[in-house]
Amino acid sequence: MTKCAWITGSSSGIGRALAKRLVDDGYRVAVSARNAELLAALAAEHPGRIVAFPLDVTDGEAVRRVADAVTTAMGPIDLAVFAAGSYTRDYAADFSVERMRQMFDLNVMGTANCLEAVMPGMIARKAGHIAVVASVTAYVGLPGAASYGATKAALNSLCEALHPELASHGVTLSVVNPGFVATPLTEKNDFPMPFLVSAEEAADIIARGLASNTFEIIFPWKMALAIRLLHALPHKLRFALTRKMLRS
């Protein structure tokens, strides 16, 4: 029986590349994002294998309707990948509560809306796999990523808290912590991005991690090693290094 995957944030970047990769792995894939035109173009590339369900994940009621529509049209959701998110650099001098609220609404509460929509069905079936896309910035507060990093740290904490209970119900939960990936979001960065990987490379790594039921899928390995070492340092040494990231 063909498995069903649902991916949010799939009009571009990691979500789009992962949708195509999962089709190659034999899935039928429901794709959701706010940009209906890009979703339709993606679905047209794989008729019958990718089906578009436009969605703004910050609208909780819409998320529930789309989750139900996916199930009705394609069957129970075997794999749900919540990749919808946004990134805007911010600094102390221009800190904005509204900008931070918008990022939390999308990155955190949007993901929470999706979790609320799929967890009950998976728990009832005692089957299913959920993956939440976060970031290596969850490990260390980095200059320019105060709000973004805070949202990703929240997602990591959320997944760690939910994992034991979901496992007891037969549901697998994974968190994906990418480093720099070449996507429309990172195109606007005007600073060096070490260990940059393509969206296709990211999708391959994620797909392999999901197939092995890994809890944390963190990549590329050089970035994972660097961020973990930075996290392990005493604050005085860590701040000495992160201060060098400040831009004039």
3-state DSSP helix/strand/coil % of the chain, to nearest 5: 55, 15, 30
Q: What span, in angstroms and rounded, lies between the C-alpha atoms of 239 and 230?
A: 9
Does the structure show a pLDDT above 70 at 235?
yes
% residues pLDDT > 70 (the chain) = 99
Neighbours of 71 (CB within 10 A): 17
Domain ranges of the chain: 4-245
Q: What is the mean pLDDT of residues 209-236?
A: 97
Q: How confident is the model at residue 248 (pLDDT cuts 50, 70, 90)?
A: very low
Residues 6+ away with beta carbon under 8 Å from 75: 4
DSSP state of 26: T
In the block, tokens 């939390």 appear at: 104
Classify the C-alpha dihedral 85-197-43-5 as positive or negative: negative
Is the pLDDT confidence value at 138 over 80? Answer: yes
Under the banding of pLDDT at 50, 70 and 90, the label for residue 186 is confident
Q: How confident is the model at residue 50 (pLDDT cuts 50, 70, 90)?
A: very high
| Six-digit token string for 181 | 């990936």
With beta carbons less than 8 A apart as the criterion, state whether 70 and 77 touch.
yes
CATH fold for the domain made of 4-245? Rossmann fold (3.40.50)
User: Which residues lie below 8 Å from residue 230, measured CB to CB, with a gap of 6+?
Assistant: 139, 140, 238, 241, 242
Q: Give 247's pLDDT tier (boundaries 50, 70, 90).
A: low
**What's the CA angle centered on 7, arms 194 and 76, to 5 degrees?**
150
Provide Rg for the chain, Cα atoms: 18
- The average pLDDT across 161-179 equals 98
Residue 91 annotated to the active site: no
DSSP 108: I
Cα distances from 125 to residues 69, 108, 153, 182, in angstroms, run 18, 26, 30, 37
| 213: confidence class by pLDDT, cuts 50, 70, 90 | very high
- SS3 of residue 176 by DSSP: strand
> For 32-38, what is the mean pLDDT?
97
